Amino acid sequence: MQHTKITPHGIGRHEGRPRLLIVEPDRLTRWSTAEYMHDAFDISVADSAPAARRLIDTNQFDALVISEDLPLQGSDTIEEYARRRNPGIRTVRTVTRIADPDFAIGDIVLIEKPFDLSALARALTA
């Protein structure tokens, strides 16, 4: 199996492909999510809200996967910041616990951890 090196600057840059920002403090979750999605998206990753903010400042993203595990309501802050840059951004939040594992609030889809990567892919491309 071939593995792709993932850096904060992203992988798989191709003109015209949708851009995905993954904001996840857990290294394994960040890696596995990026690895699974790199065929469909140009991927950028961040392990914290400040790192995500820097990427949003210099890139336009079409989709955002953001962990609720970020400290100090970091997921809310980053999502709002990303929406100011692109009001149509597709957002999926990964959460530790919810009653309904595929619950949506407005444009925000919540997926409970540990999540099936194919469910995440469906949520991003719906």
pLDDT (tens, 9 = 90+) of the chain, 126 residues, equals: 333 444 444 444 556 789 999 999 999 999 999 999 999 999 999 999 999 999 999 999 999 999 988 887 788 899 999 999 999 999 999 887 655 545 555 566 778 887 888 888 888 887
pLDDT of residue 36: 94
Q: Is position 9 within any domain?
A: no
Residue of 24, 19, 29, 1 whose CA lies nearest to 75 = 24
Q: How many domains does the chain have?
A: 1
Q: Is 97 helix (H, G, I), strand (E, B) or coil?
A: coil
Residue 105 belongs to a domain with what CATH number? 3.40.50.2300
pLDDT at 109: 77
pLDDT of residue 5: 40
What is the predicted pLDDT for the residue at 13?
53
Residue 51 domain boundaries: 19-125
pLDDT, residue 82, reads 95
Residue 15's pLDDT is what? 63
Distance, CA of 34 to CA of 105 (rounded, Å)? 24
Q: Report if residue 11 sits inside a domain.
A: no
Q: State how far Cα 25 lies from the chain centre.
A: 11
Tell me if 52 is assigned to some domain.
yes
Q: Is residue 29 in a domain?
A: yes
